[in-house]
Structure 1
Amino acid sequence: MKIKIKDREVTLYFGVRFVRELDKVAGMNVNGASLGMGLTRTLPALETGDPVALANVLYAASYDTNPRVSQNEIDEYMENCKDLDKLYDRVMKEAMESNIIKATAKKLKMV
């Protein structure tokens, strides 16, 4: 999936590296120890339309952009998006096509 942020084409990836990146921005930390869980916490929030969840997903999925887009650029992109519902739908559709995400979504009974 591709989106355009400030005249830059950004490709979004939804594989294992995406999950690792999502853990960095949305995972659980207890006493400084990372417990992961970013995907497990984010999928239900994304499905209910949580804008922070969508911003985290876009940021984590854009890990391969060089130079990487910032969280502020993602936030601005979303704030200026003319059809946020369509963006949610596109992201969910793309994400659910990933074997990595599909397995977790099944356990959460989302598919």
Structure 2
Amino acid sequence: MEIKINGKEQELNFGVKFVRLLDKKMPIVMSVKGMGEQPFGMALTRVVPALKTFDTAVLSDVIYLALWGSKPRPSQDDVDAFIDDDKTDIEKLFSDVIDAMSKSNSVKLATKNLKA
């Protein structure tokens, strides 16, 4: 999937690296006796329902993390401004991101099985 940020086409990549970055940014944290809080990844279990309920902060994070391969990579502020822009069809953007994720081999099962 491609989007245009700051006048430049950017490719979103929802592969394994995206999942790792997502797990690092938004891990599910559990308390483990004697070890304190431990991150367990599993961010997709939170992100997919959030996208399906139109959470723009999560959309911004997902887009930013999916831009991991862009050179130069747009900043989080650039992504936020893109989402906030009145010219951005936000409903279509949510739909396109969910659709692109559902086609990525790395996340399609989670996208298919998680409901909002």
Query: What TM-score does the superposition give when structure 1 sets the normalisation length?
Result: 0.87
The match for 1:46 among 45, 51, 69 is 51
Aligned to 1:92: 98
Task: Give the alignment of 1:51-66 within 5 angstroms.
Answer: 51-66=56-71
1:3 aligns with 2:6: no
Supply the RMSD in Å over aligned alpha carbons. 1.9
More helix per residue: 1
Paired-residue identity, %: 41
Partner of 1:13: 13
Check the 8 A contact 1:55/1:78 in 2, yes or no: yes
How far apart, in 2, do the equivalents of 1:56 and 1:107 lie? 21
Greater relative contact order structure (CA < 8 Å, 6+ sep):
2
Q: Which runs of 5+ in 2 are unaligned?
A: 31-35
Aligned to 1:77: 82
Counterpart secondary structure, 1:100: coil
Shift of 1:28: 2.8
- SS of structure 1 residue aligned to 2:4: strand
Contact 1:26/1:56, CA 8 A, preserved across alignment: no
What is the rounded CA distance, in whole Å, between the counterparts of 1:21 and 1:41 in structure 2?
14
1 CA distance for matches of 2:3 and 2:25?
Answer: 20
How many residues are aligned here?
110
Q: Which residue identity lines up with residue 91 of structure 2 in the other structure?
A: D
Q: Which moved more, 1:95-104 or 1:53-62?
A: 95-104
The answer for unaligned runs of 5 or more in structure 1 is none
Deviations 1:16-58 (A, max 9, x none): 1111111232223455743212111100000110101111110
Deviation at 1:81, TM superposition (A): 4.7
Pick closer, same or farther for the CA change 1:70–1:33 going to 2, 3 Å.
farther
